Amino acid sequence: MNFENTLLTLLILIPFIGTLKILFMPKTYEKYLMWIAFGFSVFEFLLSLTLLCYFDSTSHLLQLVQKVSWISTFGISYFVGIDGISLWLVLLTTFLTPLVIVATTPQKHTRMYLASFLFLETAMIGTFVALDLFLFYVFWEMMLVPMYFIIGIWGGARRIYATLKFVLFTLAGGVLMLLGIIFLVYLYHDQFGVFSASLLDMYSLQIPSEYGQLLTPQNLLFLAFTLAFIIKVPMFPFHTWLPDAHVEAPTGGSVILAGVLLKMGTYGYLRFALPLFPQAATYFTPILFTLALIGIIYGALLALAQLDLKKLVAYSSISHMGLIMLGIFALTPNGVSGGIFQMLSHGLATGALFLMVGMIYERRHTRELDQFGGLAQTMPIFSSFLVLFTLSSIAFPSTNGFVGEFLILLGVFQNNPWISALAATSVVLGAYYMLSMIQKVIFGSIRYAENKSLKDLSIKEISVLVPIVILIFWMGLYPKPFLSRMEKSVDYLITHAQNYDLGVYEKNK
Partner 1 sequence: MICISPILVIIFTSIFVLLLDAFLPNGDKKLLAIITGLGLVIAGATSYLLWEAQPQSLFHQALRIDQFSIFFNFIFLFLTGFTLVSALPKFDSQHPFPGEFFFFLLAACSGMMLMASSSDLITFFMSLEIMSLTLYVLTGLYKQRIQSIEASLKYFLLGAFSTGFLLLGIVFIYAATHTTSFAAIGHYLITSEHVLPPIFMLGVGLLLTGFAFKVGAVPFHMWVPDVYEGAPTVITGYMATAVKAAGFAVLIRFFLVTLLPILNSFSTVMITITILTMTVGNLAALIQNNIKRMLAYSSIAHAGYILIAICSANSQSFNLSIGAVVFYLVAYGMMTFGAFIVLSAVSTHKHIHTLKDVIGLGFKNPWLGASFSVFLLSLTGIPLTAGFIGKFYIFSTALKAGFYGLALMGILNSLLAAYYYLRVIVYLYMKDEEGVLEKQTPEFAWHVVIGIMAFATLYFGIFPTPILNFIEKAVLALF
* Interface size with partner 1, residues (CB under 8 A): 34
- Indicate whether 160 belongs to the interface with partner 1 (CB under 8 A): yes
- Indicate whether 231 belongs to the interface with partner 1 (CB under 8 A): no
| CA trace torsion 93, 80, 340, 143 (10° rounding) | -50
Q: How far apart are CA 481 and CA 500, in angstroms?
A: 25
- Indicate whether 150 belongs to the interface with partner 1 (CB under 8 A): no
Tell me the window of 136-144, 231-239, 279-287, 438-446 that interacts with partner 1 (CB under 8 A).
Answer: 136-144
Which listed residue (183, 361, 396, 500) binds partner 1 by CB under 8 A? 183
- Indicate whether 197 belongs to the interface with partner 1 (CB under 8 A): no
- Indicate whether 119 belongs to the interface with partner 1 (CB under 8 A): no
Closer CB to partner 1, 179 or 470, in the complex: 179
Q: Helix (H, G, I), strand (E, B), or coil: what is residue 245?
A: helix
Beta-carbon contacts of residue 427 (< 8 Å; ≥ 6 apart): 394, 395, 405, 409
Q: Helix (H, G, I), strand (E, B), or coil: what is residue 327?
A: helix
- Indicate whether 171 belongs to the interface with partner 1 (CB under 8 A): yes
Closer CB to partner 1, 171 or 446, in the complex: 171
- Interaction mask 69-98, partner 1, x per CB under 8 A: -xxxxx------------------------
- Indicate whether 138 belongs to the interface with partner 1 (CB under 8 A): yes
Helix or strand holding residue 63 (H, E): strand 63-71
Beta-carbon contacts of residue 382 (< 8 Å; ≥ 6 apart): 356, 359, 360, 375, 442, 456, 457
Burial of residue 429 (CB within 10 Å: 0-12, 13-18, 19+) is buried
- Indicate whether 114 belongs to the interface with partner 1 (CB under 8 A): no
Contact 242, 318 (CB under 8 A): yes
Closer CB to partner 1, 167 or 403, in the complex: 167
Which listed residue (89, 185, 288, 340) binds partner 1 by CB under 8 A? 185
Which listed residue (17, 49, 52, 172) binds partner 1 by CB under 8 A? 172
Closer CB to partner 1, 43 or 70, in the complex: 70
Distances (CA, A) of 397 to 392, 401, 442: 8, 8, 22
DSSP state at residue 157: T
Closer CB to partner 1, 246 or 485, in the complex: 246
Quote the least distance from Cβ 184 to partner 1, whole Å. 10
Closer CB to partner 1, 2 or 190, in the complex: 190
Asked if the peptide bond before residue 234 counts as cis, ω within 30 degrees of 0, the response is: yes
- Indicate whether 164 belongs to the interface with partner 1 (CB under 8 A): yes
Which listed residue (182, 387, 435, 454) binds partner 1 by CB under 8 A? 182
> What are 504's strand-pairing partners?
62
Asked if the peptide bond before residue 237 counts as cis, ω within 30 degrees of 0, the response is: yes
- Indicate whether 163 belongs to the interface with partner 1 (CB under 8 A): yes
Tell me the window of 57-65, 96-104, 170-178, 338-346 that interacts with partner 1 (CB under 8 A).
Answer: 170-178
Q: How far apart are CA 219 and CA 197, in angstroms?
A: 20
- Indicate whether 145 belongs to the interface with partner 1 (CB under 8 A): yes
| Cβ neighbour number for residue 307 with a 10 Å cutoff | 12
Closer CB to partner 1, 79 or 139, in the complex: 139
Quote the least distance from Cβ 214 to partner 1, whole Å. 16
CB-based burial, 458-469: b 16+ in 10 Å, e otherwise: eeebeebbeebb
- Indicate whether 168 belongs to the interface with partner 1 (CB under 8 A): yes
Beta-carbon contacts of residue 399 (< 8 Å; ≥ 6 apart): 345, 349, 388, 391, 392, 472, 473, 475, 476
Which listed residue (43, 54, 55, 148) binds partner 1 by CB under 8 A? 148
| SS3 per-residue string spanning 421-443 | HHHHHHHHHHHHHHHHHHHHHHC
Tell me the window of 141-149, 359-367, 453-461, 494-502 that interacts with partner 1 (CB under 8 A).
Answer: 141-149
Quote the least distance from Cβ 133 to partner 1, whole Å. 12
Residue ranges binding partner 1 (CB under 8 A): 70-74, 109, 134, 137-139, 141-142, 144-145, 148-149, 152-153, 159-160, 163-164, 167-168, 171-172, 175-176, 178-179, 182-183, 185-186
